[in-house]
Each structure stands twice: as C-alpha cells, then as structure tokens.
Amino acid sequence: MKKITIAIDGHSSCGKSTMAKDLAREVGYVYVDTGAMYRSVTLYALRHGLFEADGSVKTAELEAEMPNIHISFKFNPETGRPDTYLNEERVEDEIRSLEVSSHVSPIAAVGFVRTAMVAQQQQMGKDKGVVMDGRDIGTTVFPDAELKVFVTASAEVRAQRRFDELKAKGMPADYDDILKNVQERDYIDSHREVSPLRKADDAIELDNSHMTIAEQKAWLLERFHERTA
C-alpha cells in the first residue's frame, strides 16, 4: 500500500487532533500535532514575559528568542500517543490550559513563527506516511497532500468539548469564557495575514457537531482507504 500525506485542518476544539491521532495509530503513520507546536511557543512566551499588557506579542523580543525554542514529540506508551516537549520538558498538559488558549492565536499570526514552524513540519513529513493537523496544513504546509480534510463544528459544541476536556483533567474551566475564546480564535485564525484558516479547494469538509468519536474515526478511515487503494 502506498504511503500518503494526510492534512487535517479546521477550527479550534473541533476534534481534529483526536481524529488525526486515532487514524495515525490505526494505520501506523507518524502523527504531528502542529497546534501543540504553536501552543509551545505561546507557553514559552508567557513564561518569558513576551506579551504586552493588552495581549499583543513583543515580536522583536520573541524573534530573538526563537533559536532557544525547541519543540519535539515523544511517544507515550501509557496513552499510545505522542506527548509534546518544549526544550526537553514535557508540556502536554500545560499547553492545553485556557491561558495558553487565550494567547496562542496572536503567536500563530506572527510571520517568523509560522515560517519556523512550517519548515519543521515539512521536514517531519518529507517521507510521507504522516498525519498532520492544524490550520494551514492543506493550504500551506502540504498543498499536495493526497488526502485533505477540513473539520468544523458549531462554536457552542466546540466550547462544550473543551470545557469537558479541562474538567476531566481537573483543570479550572468556565464555559462562557471558553466559548468567548473559541469565537475570538475563529476570527483571528480566519483573518490573519499569514496563512489564514480556510478550506483548501480540494479538501473534504466534515461537520462533526453531532458525530461520536467512533463515527468520526470510521468516516476518516474510509476516506484513507479510498485514497490508498
């Protein structure tokens, strides 16, 4: 069976990472969570005071720090999925906090950050056999990907999913704050100058507002077999 590149794009908290992770594990592909990469840069920026009081990014200071930001993924045998590491520190839980979620879109809109992350992502997927999810995988990172999926769901459904996820981890969560964050991220992601979130012309759209994880997994696996047959 030929190896292909799979690009899964979509709005925040629409479940695309879960779909991508499950598919990669099912078919033996490498999974790369590009959102975790931008979240890791955001966590670094928060820790080093690289945001102004109004939430804007101190771009000159961040650009100077970029050589000190190293992101990697290591397989976790307990979960069967990769964890995110920032400078060799496991940050898988920290990068999912609402504080990081509230600051990640401005970071992801910075041109030199996207350039650095895209270069890393393209290197990770150069040999195919990769499942990558994010905002611009099918449009910018891998425009020639053999399978492109654009995932969406209503803002209310996505906010509830993020709320449930945080509560399950024992982390503080407020539904109204999360919904506001989801809506703000949608706007910023869709209106930024560099690689805005949009559906690639040749992507298959999936609205999973009312689908179970098992139904999404089955749907994606069927698309995979169609493309690799």
pLDDT tens for each residue of 14-53: 989 889 999 998 998 988 889 999 999 999 999 999 999 9
Inform me whether the pLDDT recorded for 160 exceeds 80. yes
Inform me whether the pLDDT recorded for 1 exceeds 80. no
Distance CA 87, CA 71 (A): 6
Inform me whether the pLDDT recorded for 192 exceeds 90. no
DSSP H helices, the chain, are 16-27, 34-47, 59-65, 98-108, 111-124, 155-168, 175-191, 213-228
Looking at every residue in the chain, the average pLDDT score rounds to: 92
Cβ-in-10-Å burial (0-12, 13-18, 19+) of 2 comes to exposed
Parallel, antiparallel, or unpaired: how do β-strands 130-134 and 147-152 relate? unpaired
pLDDT band at 2 (very low <50, low <70, confident <90, very high): confident
pLDDT of residue 229: 85
pLDDT band at 114 (very low <50, low <70, confident <90, very high): very high
| Pairwise pLDDT comparison (6 vs 170), residue with the higher score | 6
